[in-house]
Structure 1
Amino acid sequence: MDILKTEAFLRLSAALVFVLAACLVRLDTQTKFIFFTERKITFKDLNGLQALVYAAFVAAGYNVLQLSRCIFFVSCFHGNLSKRSYRYLAWVGYLLDQVVLYLTFATNSAAVEQSMLVVTGMKEFQWAKWCNKYTRFCFQTGGAICCCFLACCLMAFTTFVSGFNLFRLYSPKKFLRLKNT
């Protein structure tokens, strides 16, 4: 029962941090006058940031759905669910946790890579350094990326708990019997 409460706490924390990161990136804009023209920069100017926003919102929604599952099991079954019926649900939850973790980590890494090109520029492709002109935008985006990495770490711990919930359903005696034959 305490494991479900721990999982619920981790899922709630991850969902909140994912929403925070997505909102920080989504609402981040900055306008500057450059060469007598007004230039506005948003998250839509970088494809990596767009993917980060969408993946973070999807991950937050997934964690809220799984959080409702945890609350439902704690309130309704009080741990009296048969192992056989719970085993399939545990496998689906574990595999979905893995998919969401890897998806968010991959999109966050892509956003970091693209953001580093914005910070350093690249003369070969004639990409200018944006962060010299749009410092507030870059700092806020960097903070959002750090929040998303924190949320990925929380999802990793959630995946550990989900894996523990799954593999505790298998008897070690039955496993050893299958292994020896």
Structure 2
Amino acid sequence: MGNGIMGKNEAFLRVSAILVLVLTACLVGLNTQTKTIIFTIQKKATFNDMDALVILVYVASVAAGYNLLQLLYKSSASVCYGGKFEGSETHNIYMAWVCFLLDQIAVYITVAANTAALGASLLALTGEEAFQWTKVCDRFTRFCIQIGGSLLCGCVACILMAVISSVSAFKLFRLYSPKLFLRLKTR
């Protein structure tokens, strides 16, 4: 697989991840529903009511920004240096390690935030009689359906970012010799 094809595939994956992460953040962040409880008393459901959803909005936004920065960095390196980083071989390996580790961190944090939001949303959906917590989704149905859609988008984003991380791992470990453990290939 050539560098050009791998670079185009990675760019496509990063753009897709950015779009899905922005969609996730917007669906959660802009989702509100107001219900009249008793005559003039109204209750409004927003993402601020659940800390896990607030964290999901922040994490999805930061992850989208990170992927955008990676996309811009790699495209500028491709334009300026013809697809190769300028500098020594050790600079290439350090940059490959940095990109790999940052991709890993982004995936794990996004998965953690999405999982926490999913757990909190399931609790809002089912309630908990032992704590006398009522089912929130019985009252705010549209709100819960939109949160469910945003969590589905978040899962798709996590899968896309895991694939990006795999591509990053491939790019890193192809620089090493297959015969000698963690030794750089000699040219």
The answer to whether TM tops 0.5 is yes
Find out whether 1:20 has 2:26 as its counterpart: no
In structure 2, the partner of 1:33 is: 36
In 2, Cα distance between equivalents of 1:158 and 1:66: 11
Q: Report the alpha carbon displacement of residue 176 of structure 1 after superposing the two structures with TM.
A: 8.3
Query: In the alignment, which residue of structure 2 is the partner of 1:46?
Result: 50
- Aligned match of 1:72 in 73, 76, 79? 76
The match for 1:57 is 61
Query: Which structure's residues are more often helix, by fraction?
Result: 1
5+ residue gaps, structure 1: none
Aligned to 1:106: 112
Is 165-174 or 138-147 further displaced after alignment? 165-174
Over aligned residue pairs, what C-alpha RMSD do you find?
A: 1.6
Residues 129-160 of structure 1: CA distance to partner in whole angstroms, max 9, x if unpaired?
A: 11111010000000000000000000000001
Deviation, 1:125, is 1.0
Would you say 1:137 and 2:143 are equivalent positions? yes
The worse-fitting range, judged by mean Cα deviation, of 149-158 and 72-81 is 72-81
Larger relative contact order, structure 1 or 2 (CA cutoff 8 Å, min sep 6): 1
State the TM-score, normalized to the length of structure 1: 0.93
5+ long unaligned stretches in structure 2: none
Moved more, 22-31 or 163-172: 163-172
Look up the match of 2:159. 153
SS of structure 1 residue aligned to 2:42: strand
Could you tell me the TM-score, scaled by structure 2's length? 0.90
**Structure 1 176/64 Cα, relative in aligned 2: closer, same or farther at 3 Å?**
closer
CA contact (8 A) 2:33 2:143 kept: yes
